[in-house]
Amino acid sequence: MTLPSAPGSAILTRDAGGARLALTGDWTLVHYMELQARANELAGTVGNDVHVDIHALGAMDTSGAFVIAEMLGSRRTQTLSQDESLPPARRALLKTVGDAIDTYCKGVKKPRDAGFVVLLERIGKGMGSFWKQTLKLLAFIGITLQGFASTVLRPRHWRMTALVSHIEQTGLDAVPILALLSFMVGAVVAFLGSTALASYGASIFTVDLIGFAFLREFGVLLTAILLAGRTASAFTAQIGSMKAREEIDAIRTLGLDPVELLVLPRVLALLVSLPLLTFIAMIAGIVGGGVVCLAVLKMSPSMFLSMLQADMSLTQFLVGIAKAPVFAFMIGVIGCMEGFKVSGSAQSVGEHTTSAVVQSIFVVILLDALAALFYMEMGW
Amino acid sequence: MKGETVIEVRGLINRFGSQTVHENLDLDVYRGEIIGIVGGSGTGKSVLLRTIIGLVRPIAGEVRVFGENLLSLPEERRSQVERRFGVLFQSGALFSSLTVAENVALPLIEHAGLPRMDATRLAGVKLALSGLPVDAGRKYPSELSGGMIKRAALARALALDPEILFLDEPTAGLDPISAAAFDSLIVTLRNALGLTVFLVTHDLDTLYSTCDRVAVLSQKRVLAAAPIDEVARTDDPWVQAYFNGPRGRAATFAAHKGKD
């Protein structure tokens, strides 16, 4: 097929004896475009009275046979394939393709047109799936709480090894990146504060800005967003690939509870590590801001610390850290739930991993906004 | 039957770590035949297939397909030779992000340069040729049953009208009825398209119903390569256990009964 070959041709002649269609040359995939064009020209003119002669045909493969069969129609192809004077291999090929084209043509449907109605339909479907998604999330939260309630009083069902291993993966391993990230954001906030407050002659309050920002908001938010990206995706991928390889089904048939085995250790590990990481993020952020204060505002370390101590009450810290367990729970639950929703393919694992990250970041920011409103109304 | 040699393996040595899989293995495959490769688990049947199609680089020895050594060819030439064979992998290896029809149309678009419309139509015919219903083309591989995946993978392997078809355990995991249908499909396609088929299998019924010759892999080489009845008479403990075990006897019985 890689040899150079003469493209096939079809010549229609009419004389006293009737019309004849002579096919010559190679009818192969290499010449598909030319053959298709020629066949389209002839399609209307080849009536049932035309005698088809393919004895001079060169090479023919399924593509060529398809073009011929389409031009002649499946019934005439069948007649042609019964011609005893043709080699048996060629007749078999014509017959096979003729049969195939028969099944193929029967089932072809028109593609749907894309228009306004389709747009509306997609919006509707989107709303429907958002609603279903919310219900599923609530249901999964319920299942997780139920699993927790049923194992909490039975120490034999505590998966300590898994729990500790997940604390290491989600907590300890995330410390360096989180500390660095918070340190840099702290420095950026301090720069921003010192520049903006300088025009009021109040650049000394940069210290308060850093303190408030990190204790109340940034510490916990940065940690939660980092873990949503780092841990929720890992949970989904781990559980998802287990689901794809039927390991979850195996757990069920062994009479074990996948929630107890897979979900609880992960969610509990996050409940332990996220508050601890939040604390580290707060410290790192304040240190980052402090370094900028020392360098840019020429403040002494003792002054920075004494201002921080005077202006920051314990409430600020508690208000911030109180959000950590809630975020941890939601990130863990969403990560695990998306893992359980994976079906069969490798692509599905990818889709649900993305979905887990997007959802958990969305939920974290939504809850944070609600908490800010609540704290403001409470005057905390 | 013996025609031109399309695959020629000489002195092949494959080794993974300290484990030798093939030691001076020789094999010839002739144009137009269906050759079955059998052997116990771990005798390197799939490794042999992967070596011939150029996925595994042997330690030593030479593999020639259409008289060309794939591994020493420049990229461009190699791709041209590769278009002349189709491979059906053990678990189908359909691309899970594409629909079945797109899977089959992909080589047509990429290699034959067909426009998407024509490629899709041609893909539909190939799917019908492999015995799939038309609506299967719009489905994703994860929505298909095992037998349908094999058929779809066969359609993709046949997309470019290859001269050699490599099948890695095509009937593994199929129910006996689907497996028998698949066997007869392969024979039909071989007769219609003049294919050479290189078939790795464990399935004795497939061997009896399709293969012209059977090559037995044992003791790191090809122990025998001959028509099946001849191979079955080879004086080797593994061959005897294979063909004259309970399953082997049942398949022999069925095959001979079918002929009568």
Interface probe, candidates B135, B193, B196, chain A, greatest A C-beta count within 10 A: B193
Residue A184: how many CA atoms within 13 Å on its side-chain side? 6
How much is the pLDDT for A319? 93
Minimal CA separation from B70 to chain A, in Å = 15
Smallest CA–CA distance from A350 into chain B, residue = B97
Contacts of residue A345 in chain B, CB cutoff 8 Å? Answer: 96-97, 140-142
Across the strands, what pairs with A57? A25
Give the strands of the sheet with B19-30, arranged side by side: B19-30, B5-16, B60-65
pLDDT of residue A105: 67
Q: How does DSSP classify residue A185?
A: H
Q: For residue A300, which phi and psi values (nearest 5 degrees)? A: -85, 150
B182: pLDDT strictly greater than 90: no
Q: Three-class SS string for chain B?
A: CCCCEEEEEEEEEEEECCEEEEEEEEEEEECCCEEEEECCCCCCHHHHHHHHCCCCCCCEEEEEECCECHHHCCHHHHHHHHCCEEEEECCECCCCCCCHHHHHHHHHHHCCCCCHHHHHHHHHHHHHHCCCCHHHHHCCHHHCCHHHHHHHHHHHHCCCCCCEEEEECCCCCCCHHHHHHHHHHHHHHHHHHCCEEEEECCCHHHHHHHCCEEEEEECCEEEEEECHHHHHCCCCHHHHHHHHCHHHHHHHHHHHHHHC
pLDDT tens for B129-157 read 888 887 888 888 888 888 888 889 888 88
Residues in B closer than 8 angstroms to A32, CB to CB, are: 112, 114, 118, 122
Q: Is B95 on the interface with A (CB under 8 A)?
A: no
What's the rounded Cα separation, in Å, for the pair B202 and B39?
8
How many residues are given for chain B?
260
Shortest distance between the Cα of B124 and any Cα of chain A, in A, equals 6
Contact A61 B189 (CB under 8 A): no
Q: CB distance from B116 to chain A under 8 Å? A: no
Which of A36, A88, A100 faces B118 most closely, judged by CB atoms? A36
For the cut 90, the answer to whether the pLDDT of residue B226 exceeds it is no
- For residue A113, the model assigns a pLDDT of 66
Question: Which residues of chain B lie closer than 8 angstroms to A30, CB-CB?
Answer: 112
Distance between CA atoms of B194 and A105, rounded to whole angstroms? 25
> Which segments of A58-115 does DSSP mark as H helices, in order?
62-72, 74-81, 88-107
Chain B (138-197) residues lying within 8 Å, Cβ to Cβ, of chain A: 140-142, 158, 160-161, 163, 188-189, 191-194
Helix (H) or strand (E) holding A241: helix A233-244
- Closest partner CB to B134 (pick from A30, A97, A103): A103
Residue A110: per-residue pLDDT: 59
Rounded distance between C-alpha atoms, residue B108 and residue B123, angstroms? 8
Q: What number of CA atoms fall less than 13 Å from residue A254's CA on the CB side?
A: 10
The answer, yes or no, to whether residue B32 has pLDDT greater than 80, is: yes
- Identity of the residue in A36, A88, A345 whose CB atom sits nearest the CB atom of B141: A345
Q: Which long-range contacts (CB under 8 A, 24 or more apart) does A79-87 make?
A: A80/A52, A80/A54, A85/A55, A86/A54, A86/A55
Q: How many CB atoms lie within 10 A of CB B190?
A: 20
* Residue whose tokens read 């061959």: B239
Q: Chain A residues with CB inside 8 Å of B160's CB? A: 29
CA–CA separation, A233 and A350 (whole Å): 9
The residues with which B70 forms a beta bridge, in sequence order, are none
Q: How far is CA A11 from CA A80, A108, A166, in A?
A: 17, 30, 75
Contact A100 B129 (CB under 8 A): yes
Other C-beta atoms lying within 10 Å of the C-beta of residue A337: 26
Helix (H) or strand (E) holding A247: helix A247-253
Which has the closest alpha carbon to A262: A225, A286, A291, A236?
A236
**pLDDT confidence tier of residue B39, bands split at 50, 70 and 90:** confident
A379 DSSP assignment: T
Mark yes or no for CB contact A62/B158 under 8 Å: yes
Nearest Cα residue to A272 out of A335, A215, A338, A329: A329
pLDDT of B248 above 80: no
CA distance A262 to chain B (A): 25
B160–A62 C-beta distance less than 8 A: no
Rounded CA separation B153/B140 (Å)? 12
Q: Please give chain A's pLDDT, 380 residues, in tens.
A: 444 567 777 777 777 767 788 888 888 888 888 888 888 888 777 777 777 787 777 778 888 888 888 888 777 777 888 877 787 777 878 887 887 777 776 656 556 667 888 899 999 999 999 999 999 999 999 999 999 999 988 888 888 899 999 999 999 999 999 999 999 999 999 999 999 998 898 888 999 999 999 999 999 999 999 999 999 999 999 999 888 888 888 888 888 888 998 999 999 999 999 999 999 999 999 999 999 999 988 889 999 999 999 988 899 999 999 999 999 999 999 999 999 999 877 778 889 999 999 999 999 999 999 999 999 999 88
- Measured CA to CA, the distance from residue A58 to residue A64 in angstroms comes to 11
pLDDT of residue B2: 60
Predicted pLDDT at A2: 41
Chain A positions in Cβ-Cβ contact with residue B165 (cut-off 8 Å) = none
Whole-complex ipTM: 0.70
- Chain A residues with CB under 8 Å of a chain B CB are 1-2, 28-30, 32-33, 36, 61-63, 66, 88-89, 92-93, 95-97, 99-104, 106-108, 343-348
Mutate to test the interface with A, among B76, B102, B125 (most CBs of A within 10 A): B125
A12-16, A369-373, B102-106, B241-245: least confident range: A12-16
B122 inside 8 A of chain A by CB: yes
Facing residue for A101 by CB, picked from B118, B125, B192:
B125
Residue with tokens 């690939």: A241
Query: What residues of A are in contact with residue B163 (Cβ under 8 Å)?
Result: 1
DSSP 3-state assignment of A22? strand
Residue scoring higher pLDDT (B259 or B8): B8
Q: Does B3 touch chain A (CB under 8 A)?
A: no
CB B93 within 8 A of CB B49: no
B125–A97: do the CB atoms touch at under 8 Å?
A: yes
Residue of B nearest to A244 (CA): B142
